[in-house]
Structure 1
Amino acid sequence: MKTQRKEIGLAIVGCGTIGRIRAELARSFPGVGWIGLCDIKSDIGEKLAADVDADFYTNDYRELLKRPEVTATIIATDENFHFDPTMLAIEQGHDLFIEKPLATDARQSAQILAAIEAAGVDAVVGYTQRFRRRFLTIKEKLITGQIGDVHSVVTRAFMNRMVPIATTRRTQERATLTPMVVSGTHSLDMSMWLMEGKTPKSVFAQSCDRVLSKHGTKDSTFGVFTMTDGTIWSMNISWALPEVWPGAVYGLEIGIVGDKGVIDIEDTHRDVVLASEVAQGGGYVPEGFVAPPRHVDFLTSYPPGDLHNGQLWGPMREETNAWYQRLYSGQATPHATAADGHRNLLMTMAMDLSAKRGQPVDFPVDPDELMRELVG
């Protein structure tokens, strides 16, 4: 049977680092016939428009998303500003790629999911690590029952503190910009994807803020989930490691124990180490922030991938091109769904709520209750 192909008219709202990556890949994808861009910062947006030879540029997302050429939209704004452009894109009937999270307000996240389901649009959420070869291999082993029924999982994420400093500098609305909501969501999504079919029953978590309180966020959050089938899962993240930490961005460890075997994942990037008299850059270095020199680096720890010859190679390239193929030819892909994204947000916020209360939180959790207690 011949595959039906549908040319893509692409709108990208947000022309920062991630919007740029996905726009450059779009220009190289033969199924993308039209590209429109939007950013409130004209210098950033106009430069990207020139670099990818965009067909249209504006500072107003409404003007872009109402263009008749647009069939699909990427939402790549800062985390706090996803809601309005996402809802308009849904109203316009566009296929959607939304950078995580769906929203930083649980009530808005629920509205987005409900609107997506009511409109019947195809929407995915940016959880790039699903497209790395090692995790796809592990997923296949779990699907085919190689370790039997999973009953115990341990997840640990370590991050350089340049990430939270960069994130919190962009806004004063920081109540929900926590290590779990912003960054722990990646390792949470990965763990839940590998535990597909399991449902959380309760979580007990604790947090501390000795280092990053001056930036309006927490240092670390550790929690234990109990699933409805009795599985236990420890989910821990610290994004307060010093600026000189050799892992420029993300280091992850996951242990998955089943009744017939175990999968032990060491994804800390310590297998490729660079040591040099030349100071190393990389990672999310916020504008105006002067980090101390780093002379040792765990290479390949930048989640989107790595640069070679001016091009990004790695999971974000795979994820983005797979989405374009999904739209163009109907190819099945491992993207996170909007339902996955909403579930992830509620689980990360439930950890924050448990840490604030000092007691377990049961699922399902109510978005109104989460926002009332976490934000006020």
Structure 2
Amino acid sequence: MAIRNEIGLAIIGCGTIGRIRAIIARDYPGISWLGLCDINPELGQKLKSDSDADFFTTDFYELLNRPEVTAVIVATDENNHAAPILAATERKQALFIEKPIATDARESLQILRAIEASGVDAVMGYTQRFRRRFLAVKERLITGQIGEVHSVVTRAFMNRMVPIATVSRTQNRRHLTPMVVSGTHSLDMSMWLMEGKSPVSVYAKSTDKVMSRWGTKDSTFGIFEMDDGAIFSMNISWALPEVWPGSVYGLEVGIVGTEGVIDIEDTHRDLVMATNVAQGGGYVPDGYSAPARHVDFLTSYPPGDLHLSQLWGPMREETVSWYQRLCMNQPTPHATAQDGHRNLILTMAMDLSARRGQPVELPVDPEELMAED
């Protein structure tokens, strides 16, 4: 089938994730032009060479003003999403936004309203939706094979290299919490699997015995009540030792319905390597010396795995699917901007409940979320 629409692609942010998506773009036939932007010219020029990009600049406005640009990937640090998203929206350019949509709930609402007013197609980077096991579960739920879902339990474990890498890039760490940065993935997955149910309240608790020295929390546990009486437990800890064998994410989900249950074990312990050769981590911050790891849960790095110098796995499928969405108008399971805003509000509501030590009624006003330390 012939490509219907060619893409002039702008990628803002040339770090780990921006690099992955740019290399995939290099090999996709529907990308007719590729431009890059990063505040670090050395990093950007290196990716320009590696991806055979057509253009590089340190000014994202200069990039978005190029006449070739029809679609934009925003892959900057978490605190710096708002300005490039709004600029792309003004120019009616399709958007792929790495989560979270923002780290300020008020900015997130402003962005969502701008996207809705402009009518641009905007999706969020929730890579887990593109994994075969979760797509299989989603189909079973859509077809009613376990009846009406009434209870969901989700637990995520991560080693502490991810939060250290995240908070080391900025002093604005107030909302760089386990839930907002990483728990949002498992929350999005659970809300997607429970599609049609809306939370009406949440009660949560947090602890910071380890990660307080980096300005964030260790763990957040919470429970949501849904509008139909269902309950949803969402727990995450990203303070596991650096030597924990999971490169990034280990997830367990239990979904109980009136006619059955689906139990998902996604900890990657089914593929274990032990070796005398020291292993690297998933996201290791510059200047940070992590201890050697000699055991690894293979396939636990969320983007995928390298073979023949290519990344294979869910991030490749997610990225190519978005290119197909734009080129061929194909429906895809991407999270929407509405999903991204909802996820931010819910994760922040968990943090607010933990600070207050009492339940928070939902929906909650973004001003209320941002008013308290």
Q: TM-score, normalised by structure 1?
A: 0.98
Shift of residue 147, structure 1, vs aligned partner: 0.2
1:16-74 CA deviation, whole Å, 9 max, x = no partner? 11001101111111111000100000010000011111111100000000111100000
Aligned to 1:311: 310
Shift of residue 372, structure 1, vs aligned partner: 1.0
Shift of residue 296, structure 1, vs aligned partner: 0.9
**In structure 2, distance between residues paired with 1:107 and 1:66:** 26
Q: Is residue 331 of structure 2 the alignment partner of residue 322 of structure 1?
A: no
Aligned to 2:279: 280
Aligned to 1:109: 108
Counterpart AA for 2:58: N
Q: Is residue 301 of structure 2 the alignment partner of residue 302 of structure 1?
A: yes
Identical-residue share of aligned pairs (%): 74
Superposed structure 1 runs of 4+ greater than 2 Å apart: none
**In structure 2, distance between residues paired with 1:291 and 1:101:** 26
Gaps of 5+ in 2: none
Aligned to 1:256: 255
Shift of residue 373, structure 1, vs aligned partner: 1.2
Aligned to 1:165: 164
Aligned to 1:209: 208
**In structure 1, distance between residues paired with 2:266 and 2:80:** 31
Counterpart AA for 2:66: R
**In structure 2, distance between residues paired with 1:248 and 1:60:** 33
1:108-149 CA deviation, whole Å, 9 max, x = no partner? 000110000000000000000100000000000000000000
- Report the secondary structure of 1:54's partner residue: coil
Counterpart AA for 1:27: R
Aligned to 2:128: 129
Summarize the alignment of residues 93-242 of structure 1 with structure 2, pairs less than 5 Å apart.
93-242=92-241
**In structure 1, distance between residues paired with 2:49 and 2:271:** 36
- Report the secondary structure of 2:154's partner residue: strand
Counterpart AA for 1:271: D
- Report the secondary structure of 1:346's partner residue: helix
**In structure 2, distance between residues paired with 1:277 and 1:51:** 32
Shift of residue 321, structure 1, vs aligned partner: 0.2
Assess if the C-alpha contact under 8 Å between 2:161 and 2:281 holds in 1: no
Shift of residue 4, structure 1, vs aligned partner: 7.0
Counterpart AA for 1:222: F
1:146-193 CA deviation, whole Å, 9 max, x = no partner? 000000000000000000000000000000000000000000000000
Assess if the C-alpha contact under 8 Å between 2:11 and 2:72 holds in 1: yes
Distance 1:314 1:4, change over 3 A: closer
**In structure 2, distance between residues paired with 1:192 and 1:278:** 40
- Report the secondary structure of 2:372's partner residue: helix
**In structure 1, distance between residues paired with 2:54 and 2:311:** 23
**In structure 2, distance between residues paired with 1:187 and 1:24:** 27
- Report the secondary structure of 1:348's partner residue: helix
**In structure 1, distance between residues paired with 2:241 and 2:281:** 14
- Report the secondary structure of 1:69's partner residue: coil
Aligned to 2:355: 356
Summarize the alignment of residues 67-86 of structure 1 with structure 2, pairs less than 5 Å apart.
67-86=66-85
Aligned to 2:269: 270
Shift of residue 233, structure 1, vs aligned partner: 0.7
Assess if the C-alpha contact under 8 Å between 2:3 and 2:30 holds in 1: no
**In structure 1, distance between residues paired with 2:226 and 2:235:** 16
Shift of residue 218, structure 1, vs aligned partner: 0.1
- Report the secondary structure of 1:77's partner residue: coil
Shift of residue 282, structure 1, vs aligned partner: 2.8
Counterpart AA for 1:19: G
Moved more, 279-288 or 160-169: 279-288
**In structure 2, distance between residues paired with 1:329 and 1:309:** 28
Counterpart AA for 2:190: S
Shift of residue 292, structure 1, vs aligned partner: 1.0
**In structure 2, distance between residues paired with 1:231 and 1:97:** 32
Gaps of 5+ in 1: none
The alignment covers a number of residue pairs equal to: 373
Task: Give the superposed CA RMSD.
Answer: 0.9
Shift of residue 3, structure 1, vs aligned partner: 7.5
Shift of residue 339, structure 1, vs aligned partner: 0.1
**In structure 2, distance between residues paired with 1:54 and 1:268:** 37
1:219-266 CA deviation, whole Å, 9 max, x = no partner? 000000000100001100000000011111100000000000000000
**In structure 1, distance between residues paired with 2:50 and 2:288:** 27
Aligned to 1:36: 35
Q: Is residue 345 of structure 2 the alignment partner of residue 346 of structure 1?
A: yes
